[in-house]
Chains A and B, each alone.
Chain A
């Protein structure tokens, strides 16, 4: 027992020895930085800002493949996603966002950065301008999805008094949020650098591009909101009065002109490659001296910031990983690309008498079309990473019957032969067989041609483009058109079209609303613009009206802005097997409605603005609910 007494005595001695040394408790922590350490050092502030950059909200992103597509511009060749084509619309809370935590942290950044006197003024001003850009970007994102929201520009703090009402702010008007975004962009411009080489940090051109887009959106909501009087709130939280349209369009056009004039840097359309389709696809993966990209989210190999978009969507046959092919562009989108003489025409599968047209080469059917088609969509018979995609649905015999298989590259014996041979492509299309080109097409835009980009262990460092010069030109064209300056509208639009091989310029008289809608659809396909464009023009409920698309309808009214787009259609090619006839070995095409497509999308009026969550309304009774919810 006596021995046990030694232990507490020893412990007390040890403790009292430690307590004597004040330094022991005053050592600086090694795993966190103090406020002074952060705000006194440029590099540390930049890394705080980097965190805010990383939290930028995009509706679509290469980090999440389904987000880039949807709305029947593509079919998802992925068993888990078939449900998207079997329902009849979207939940009220689709696309909702309400991240005031993000806003608070930007506000804190702005507050602390303003007070940081150890930074040089020029550096501090740039940091502040960048943070304000990010805040304006997120408010822009909020207003696009939710309508007017509380405009909070200070970090708010709760005082623990038990009464939180002073923290509850009502929703601002929709127009006020747009005004804020436009004004903020105007004010931060001077503090931002003019540097065409800077893509992942904000430049003067990025601020201008945001200003153009925001003003254009506000203008079109003001102008076209009258078509949907049900989508409005009496307090202006949703909906913009029609008399403000001209003002917004004017602002959009003048900001666009400032960017186009080169004051914010020598941006231009990307025209480095002679093959126009290759050139178009290169905009999204050529990161060396790319004059078109204004602002992008950048990725870097072997740094942890990479993405697997190419893995998800690469052609399956001979792919670097046994997966891919998830986004299959639909025939609806493919047919929207014009012919080179500026006319709209369906993909010619049959002649006037209803007989199939026979093609010598698989790609012949797409000849003479807008070069952006092959730059956006991987067509059957074209190649990716040096390997031709093997897309064909089977053999058609002289009597019209079809021999096909139900596995990739399946083999069967053709009549009159003794040896089995391949009767369907290694890339499909096979109805209901995931990761193959079920619609007859693969996606090309955003696919990285670098070797290894399709491997899970390597992935891709291709950037995601948020603002690019071609969009600014189209925005300028639209704003000019709405202001009645059709000659200017034609000029801007023709620049974009000429790059795509449509060298016959459109005349001023040919610029119509339908033309503008169409041009944005094909130029900006899969870039996250389609939804917002349909919403701000108030045509989403007309395009997606819940009626199924019939076979007779798919190729009609191709250039019409409100052409129905409720179900994705497919285009399948067959090899003709009729030995001894002239057509043997030629190709024919057939439009197909895939069996997994059973629903027809209906965009409800309640989808124009997303549902504001019950928790948000409960916490802040001043929040007015959105219409039709």
Chain B
């Protein structure tokens, strides 16, 4: 009788160890990354506002994996290998998506086997060209050109152009310490837009700020942004 009962804990331990191997998947380790680009040029957006949806069919119930687009237009997602469909939620982003054909529409098909870079080509309404930031005497100014990319029936007007300044690299509509804006109606020449704003006293003091320009396009929710620039005061 005595010896027989020793089997129970041993059996239990064996079962436990056996299940460890069977139940756990390895973590996903393939990185899908890339940028939102127009003719190879990245398109700047606000952080955590534009997202790409990744769908992986074949496993029954569907739910999108969201990949947030960073300020410089880049995205990345850690995934299992497999086939993915990549698409922007309708109406998101300061651009139009490109339709390849009637069946695929604007969906990108990705076959992931290890790390992979996929740039997403889109058609922006406007591109910010040659933004020149200048700082000094508690002021930040910028001169830029706007290029209208979509000129056909889908063309949209500029609602306003805004210069945003912040203490950190994260510069957006909601996180800023100073702004200057010019309404779209007041812009005479898209090739000569300039904005200046005063920078308030910083606590703790720092002799630099970060700045970027955003363009709000009429009837488009997300704004298109220039790269973030560090400006010495």
| A residues lining the B interface (CB < 8 Å) | 88, 229-230, 541, 545-548, 566, 598-602, 604-606, 614-615, 617-618, 627-629
Asked if residues B173 and A615 are in contact (CB atoms below 8 Å), the reply is no
- Indicate which residue in B63, B64, B174, B221 contacts A600 across the interface (CB closer than 8 Å): B174
A178 to B148, CA, bound (A): 42
A363 to B113, CA, bound (A): 70
Asked if residues B91 and A618 are in contact (CB atoms below 8 Å), the reply is no
- Interchain residue pairs with CB less than 8 A apart (13): A88-B174, A230-B91, A230-B219, A541-B221, A548-B173, A599-B175, A606-B89, A614-B62, A614-B63, A618-B60, A618-B61, A628-B91, A629-B89
Asked if residues A546 and B174 are in contact (CB atoms below 8 Å), the reply is yes
B107 to chain A, nearest CB (A): 15
Give me the 6 closest cross-chain CB pairs, A-B, nearest first: A600-B174, A614-B63, A546-B173, A618-B61, A88-B174, A628-B91
Among residues 160 to 185 in chain B, which have CB atoms less than 8 Å away from a CB atom of chain A? Answer: 172-176, 179
A305 to chain B, nearest CB (A): 38
- Indicate which residue in A601, A602, A627 contacts B90 across the interface (CB closer than 8 Å): A627
Among residues 173 to 223 in chain B, which have CB atoms less than 8 Å away from a CB atom of chain A? Answer: 173-176, 179, 219, 221
B85 in contact (CB, < 8 A)? no
Asked if residues A628 and B174 are in contact (CB atoms below 8 Å), the reply is no
Residues of B within 8 A of A606 (CB): 89, 91-92
Residues of A within 8 A of B62 (CB): 614, 617-618
Residues of A within 8 A of B91 (CB): 230, 605-606, 627-628
A566 to B175, CA, bound (A): 12
Asked if residues B174 and A548 are in contact (CB atoms below 8 Å), the reply is yes
Asked if residues A547 and B92 are in contact (CB atoms below 8 Å), the reply is no
Known: A614-B63, A618-B61. A547 touches B173 (CB 8 A): yes
Among residues 63 to 104 in chain B, which have CB atoms less than 8 Å away from a CB atom of chain A? Answer: 63-64, 89-92
Known: A605-B91, A628-B89, A628-B90. A229 touches B176 (CB 8 A): no
Closest to A599 in B: B174
A604 to B176, CA, bound (A): 19
Residues of A within 8 A of B48 (CB): 88
A629 to B91, CA, bound (A): 8
Residues of A within 8 A of B64 (CB): 614
Closest to B174 in A: A600
Asked if residues A605 and B221 are in contact (CB atoms below 8 Å), the reply is yes
Asked if residues B92 and A628 are in contact (CB atoms below 8 Å), the reply is yes
* Additional A-B contacts beyond A614-B64, A615-B61 (4; CB < 8 A): A88-B173, A599-B174, A604-B221, A606-B92
B179 to chain A, nearest CB (A): 8
A628 to chain B, nearest CB (A): 4
Asked if residues B176 and A548 are in contact (CB atoms below 8 Å), the reply is yes
* Bitwise interface map of B from 218 to 233 toward A, beta carbon under 8 Å scored 1, else 0: 0101000000000000
Residues of B within 8 A of A229 (CB): 219
Asked if residues B173 and A600 are in contact (CB atoms below 8 Å), the reply is yes
Residues of A within 8 A of B221 (CB): 230, 541, 604-605, 628
Closest to A619 in B: B61
Closest to B48 in A: A88
Residues of B within 8 A of A566 (CB): 174
A618 to B60, CA, bound (A): 8
A89 to B176, CA, bound (A): 16
A586 to chain B, nearest CB (A): 30
Residues of A within 8 A of B90 (CB): 627-629
Asked if residues B173 and A614 are in contact (CB atoms below 8 Å), the reply is no
* Bitwise interface map of B from 39 to 72 toward A, beta carbon under 8 Å scored 1, else 0: 0000000001000000000001111100000000
A599 to B46, CA, bound (A): 14
A381 to B150, CA, bound (A): 59
A45 to B173, CA, bound (A): 56
Known: A627-B91, A629-B89. A547 touches B63 (CB 8 A): no
A16 to B160, CA, bound (A): 91
A615 to B60, CA, bound (A): 11
Q: B64, B91, B92 — which one has the most chain A CB atoms within 10 A of its CB?
A: B91
A84 to chain B, nearest CB (A): 13
A605 to B91, CA, bound (A): 9
A44 to chain B, nearest CB (A): 41
A554 to chain B, nearest CB (A): 16
A541 to B63, CA, bound (A): 27
A88 to B179, CA, bound (A): 17
A512 to B182, CA, bound (A): 29
Asked if residues A602 and B173 are in contact (CB atoms below 8 Å), the reply is yes
Residues of B within 8 A of A541 (CB): 221
Closest to A233 in B: B90
- Indicate which residue in B60, B61, B89, B174 contacts A602 across the interface (CB closer than 8 Å): B174
A545 to B221, CA, bound (A): 10
Closest to B47 in A: A88
Residues of B within 8 A of A628 (CB): 89-92, 221
A547 to B174, CA, bound (A): 5
Closest to B216 in A: A545
B116 to chain A, nearest CB (A): 25
A31 to B62, CA, bound (A): 43
B219 to chain A, nearest CB (A): 7
Residues of B within 8 A of A598 (CB): 175
Residues of A within 8 A of B176 (CB): 548
A546 to B91, CA, bound (A): 18
A455 to B176, CA, bound (A): 43
A600 to B179, CA, bound (A): 14
A541 to B64, CA, bound (A): 25
Residues of A within 8 A of B60 (CB): 618
A63 to chain B, nearest CB (A): 31
A598 to B90, CA, bound (A): 30
A24 to B54, CA, bound (A): 62
A439 to chain B, nearest CB (A): 20
Asked if residues A614 and B89 are in contact (CB atoms below 8 Å), the reply is no
B232 to chain A, nearest CB (A): 24
A277 to chain B, nearest CB (A): 36
Residues of B within 8 A of A88 (CB): 48, 172-174
Known: A546-B173, A602-B173. A614 touches B61 (CB 8 A): yes
A436 to chain B, nearest CB (A): 25
A538 to chain B, nearest CB (A): 12
A282 to chain B, nearest CB (A): 40
A312 to B62, CA, bound (A): 41
Residues of A within 8 A of B175 (CB): 548, 598-600
A627 to B176, CA, bound (A): 30
A604 to B173, CA, bound (A): 13
Closest to B62 in A: A618
Residues of A within 8 A of B92 (CB): 606, 628
A450 to chain B, nearest CB (A): 42
A566 to B63, CA, bound (A): 31
A166 to B48, CA, bound (A): 40
Residues of B within 8 A of A230 (CB): 91, 219, 221
B57 to chain A, nearest CB (A): 12
A614 to B63, CA, bound (A): 6
Residues of A within 8 A of B63 (CB): 614, 618
Residues of B within 8 A of A601 (CB): 174
Residues of A within 8 A of B179 (CB): 547
Asked if residues B61 and A545 are in contact (CB atoms below 8 Å), the reply is no
